[in-house]
Amino acid sequence: MISHPAYAIEPWCLRETELHLEVLAQSESVFALSNGHFGWRGNLDEGEPHGLPGTYLNGVYESHPLPYAEIGYGNPVHGQTILNVTNGKIIRLLVDDTPFDLRYGRLESHERVLDLRSGLLHRDCVWTSPTGRRIRVRSTRLVSLTQRAVAAVAFEVEPLDEDVRVVVQSELIANEQLPEAADGDPRVSTVLAGSLQPEEDVANGTRLRLIHRTAVSGIRVAAAADHTVSGCEQAEAYGESGPDIGRFTVTALLPKGRPLRLEKLVSYGWSRVRSLPAMRDQVEAALTGARSTGWQGLLDEQRAYLDAFWAGADVEVDGDTEIQQAVRFALFHVLQAGARAEGRAIAAKGLTGSGYDGHCFWDTETFVLPVLTCTAPRAAAEELRWRQRTLPKARERAAQLGLRGAAFPWRTIQGVECSGYWPAGTAAFHINADIADAVTRYLCFTDDKDFEVDCALELLVETARLWRSLGYHDAEGRFHIDGVTGPDEYTAVRDDNLYTNLMARSNLRAAADLAQRHPEPAAALGVDDEEAASWRDAARAIVVPYNPDLKVHEQCEGFTRFQSWDFADTPPERYPLLLHYPYFDLYRKQVVKQADLVLAILLHGEEFTAEEKARAFAYYEPLTVRDSSLSACCQAVVAAEVGHMRLAYDYLGEAALMDLEDLQHNTRDGLHIASLAGTWFAVVGGFGGMRHRDDQVHFCPRIPENLTRLRFTVQLRGQRLQVEIDHRDAVYTLAGGPPLTVRHHGEEVTLTSGRPEVRRVPPLAGVGPEPAQPHGRRPAPRGPREPEPP
Ligand code: BGC
């Protein structure tokens, strides 16, 4: 996309200067607006042409039976799929007697701009109708970050050469026709047509309202709109409605050069328990609130919200304008995914598309929450509180599996397991430790004492219980966790996955530590000394697979003796492998879908020596094919840590451009929120070298040759910490309250507010040769370097 000539590279916006229908669906994802509560894809105002229409409310899904060829105990029987709900963005236009449809007539100019500072999507185009009428259409759209139920559109049409009769139809449409989903790709969503059952439709003056209920999941969905027309005194307007449509129509004979302006406010509400009258009042009230704020007021609030965000989150990358743009684009979309999710999940695609059925995975805790913890900590806490609220379901799932504590779902919308495929579903038990890890990270960065007692403790205790019951001590006392899948989904249901074991170890220890620190609340959760001691025993004795002959850690027990995958004989068109080879073959060979052991190094570096890290990276690089978008960012961070700065930089490029260049060919289904979040971590964790350990934040800054300077801000214990790095020095500046201690390449540095501390960046030493990737899988090089051998 961004390499498409229609896209310009600018530091604070994403600009499209021509409309290309072949990338329309992708553009709808990158131009999506959301606040985490609900989301609008970047569909054209007039609704068509479209790639995939999309309006998503966080937590609104439909249930459907999960089909199995053979019944198996413990397999979830119901799936949940995000629904495309009532579309409130549509504004159709009739120009004299022809519809404004860009597939006809002539598009003279076109521009769409997503402004990352104002949070607005602007459009400006000039079009000549098939009958020769030339008009300008301008629109500005926002999904409010301050009034979470509200979106707004300002739409203007202006005749350019002569007087023209226009009819503007502003609509709410439910049960839109959706394009057929691509066959055979497990990453797209199940299409559920006609799931919204009408309950009420009203048109009253300038207001419209539609209320529906989902057929099986029983969620009531209300949408309302209000309108203000200006610019033409002679305009006639009326509203009408039917079961699936509310329409406000304005018609006018527009004099040349005089734009007609329509401001549309839209509000959404949804609930499984609230009555129809209550929902009606809820959306009407949200509209009234937005109306009293006014269009300009909404714009001002949006700007103020984003100004505050960027002041505590911005990343400046000097020397690579494309990465600069991509990092801010990434931060913006991660914020949009989580800002107002408040008590609901953050899905793998955020609210930008229906890919992966709108499910939330470990992506959230392992990739998205590190960013939110450091840039919008309240949003991170909210997400973890959502996990806490789903604990009853996770306990039920554990009990169903004969386990103790909580087994959180691999994929879900509202807390129940929705994965019908055990090996890359429930067997990926590591999600429980990933949640625990997000909890401890949040505590380290925020020191939020209330959260520690009323949320963190329970999550850590219940996940520790799971590990203690899932694993066992063997005759020698070693603690094993058998039959699990780690992050690499090309190796499944194996014993002692190293990543899982190290994550479980820290989960068990963190639970024991917190229970010790808060004995009374821990006792209320049923924790006694014996149980806490059993967690410490298991953590101490957990197996960490290692091959002493190769002197390399094993991804799981026996991994390094598996047969090698024949990479030389795997042509580029057969990637991703999951779509072209049977899983049984992937499972028994050394081929890695995504960073697994390398992610363990990233998250638990303290468990490895520097030599072990370098050797492990060199061993796993030639096996890792990056068929998941979650991989490149992790490889970037560890490549930087072991000193392969060029490679780290190339991986950063891949993570950063995942959606802007549609590298996985599925951006149409929604953005890869984890990869976007990983882009930030590739910069802050990779080149800033940021990690947290034992309640302290560490930095090991070092930037690659191609960059001249890097500056980023993170929030630490309620203060802003700015880190600025060039090839010689790192400067740490704290803005806020009391002094804080961090580490710079191991050295303790005490920071006092407003007094920058400068430290030297030590030179790189003892770096081995750069490892190769599987044949044909080298990341695209950024800047000049040698071509890959044939
Ligand atoms: C990855 C998982 C990830 C999921 C959703 C899969 O392709 O292997 O790790 O959670 O996508 O992003």
Domain spans of the chain, in order of start: 32-279, 313-389+626-783, 395-408+417-608
246's CB contacts (< 8 A; 6+ apart) are 171, 172, 201, 202, 203, 208, 209, 210, 225, 239, 240
Ligand 1 atom nearest 410 alpha carbon: 10
| pLDDT given for residue 57 in this prediction | 98
Spacing, Cα 383 to ligand 1 middle (Å): 19
Residues with catalytic roles: 489
CA of 628 to the centre of ligand 1 (A): 6
Q: How far is the CA of 268 from the centre of ligand 1 (A)?
A: 30
The reported pLDDT for the residue numbered 318 is 97
How far does Cα 191 stand from its chain's mean position? Answer: 22
Output the residue whose Cα is nearest ligand 1's atom 7: 628
Extract the annotated binding site: 362-363, 593-594
Q: Nearest C-alpha to atom 8 of ligand 1 is from which residue?
A: 628
User: Cβ < 6 Å from ligand 1: which residues?
Assistant: 348, 356, 361-363, 487, 489, 593-594, 628, 630, 674
3-state secondary structure 676-697: HHHHHHHHHHHHCCCEEECCEE
**Closest residue CA from atom 12 of ligand 1:** 348
Q: Is residue 135 within 8 Å of 159, Cβ to Cβ? A: yes
Ligand 1 pocket test: pick from 408, 413, 630 the residue with the most ligand atoms within 8 Å of its Cβ.
630
591 alpha carbon to ligand 1 midpoint, in Å? Answer: 16
Q: Which atom of ligand 1 is nearest to the CA of 487?
A: 9
Question: 742: which 2 tokens?
Answer: 């961090």
Reduced to 3 states, what is the DSSP secondary structure of residue 362?
Answer: coil
Helix, strand, or coil (residue 293): helix
| pTM score over 0.95 | yes
Query: What pLDDT shows up at residue 182?
Result: 64
| Atom 4 of ligand 1, nearest CA residue | 361
CATH number of 32-279: 2.70.98.40
The alpha carbon of 558 and the centre of ligand 1 are apart by a number of angstroms equal to: 24
How many A from CA of 478 to the centre of ligand 1?
31
Quick: pLDDT tens for 164-204.
Answer: 999 999 999 999 988 876 666 766 666 666 789 999 999 99
Ligand 1: which residue has its CA nearest to atom 9? 487
Q: Which atom of ligand 1 is nearest to the CA of 489?
A: 8
pLDDT digits (tens, 9 = 90+) for 698-708: 999 999 999 99
Q: pLDDT (tens digit, 9 = 90+) per residue, 287-338?
A: 999 999 999 999 999 999 999 999 999 999 999 999 999 999 999 999 999 9
CA 362 / ligand 1 centre spacing (Å):
8
Of 418, 489, 586, 634, which is best to mutate to test ligand 1, by the most ligand atoms within 8 angstroms of its C-beta?
Answer: 489
Instruction: Give the Cβ contact number of residue 550 at 10 Å.
Output: 12
Work out which ligand 1 atom sits closest to the CA atom of 362.
Answer: 10
- The predicted pLDDT at position 67 comes to 87
Q: What is 395-408+417-608's CATH topology? A: Glycosyltransferase (1.50.10)
Residue 627 Cα: closest atom of ligand 1: 7
Query: Per DSSP, which regions of 129-259 are E strands?
Result: 134-143, 150-159, 164-173, 196-204, 207-214, 220-230, 236-242, 245-254
Residues belonging to the binding site for substrate are: 362-363, 593-594
Nearest residue by C-alpha to atom 1 in ligand 1: 628
Q: Which numbered atom of ligand 1 lies nearest the CA of 348?
A: 12
Number of alpha carbons in the 13 Å side-chain half-sphere of residue 697: 27
**Cβ–Cβ < 8 Å for 660, 1:** yes
500 C-alpha to ligand 1 centroid (Å): 16
Nearest-CA residue for atom 11 of ligand 1: 628
Given the CA of residue 594, which atom of ligand 1 is nearest to it?
8
The predicted structure's pLDDT at residue 403? 98
From 334, 363, 429, 625, the mutation candidate for ligand 1 (largest count of ligand atoms within 8 A of CB) is 363
- Among 361, 488, 675, residue to substitute to test ligand 1 (most atoms within 8 Å of Cβ): 361
CA distance 144 to 340: 10
pLDDT at 785: 55
Identify the sign of the CA torsion 571, 577, 583, 589: positive
pLDDT for the residue numbered 694: 84
Measure CA of the first residue to CA of the last residue in the chain; give whole Å. Answer: 27
Cβ neighbours of residue 505 under 8 Å, at least 6 residues apart? 539, 542
C-alpha angle 402-408-410 in degrees, rounded to nearest 5: 110
Predicted local confidence at residue 230, as pLDDT: 97
CA 630 – ligand 1 centroid, Å = 7
Peptide bond into 49 cis (omega under 30): yes
What parts of the chain have a pLDDT lower than 50?
Answer: none
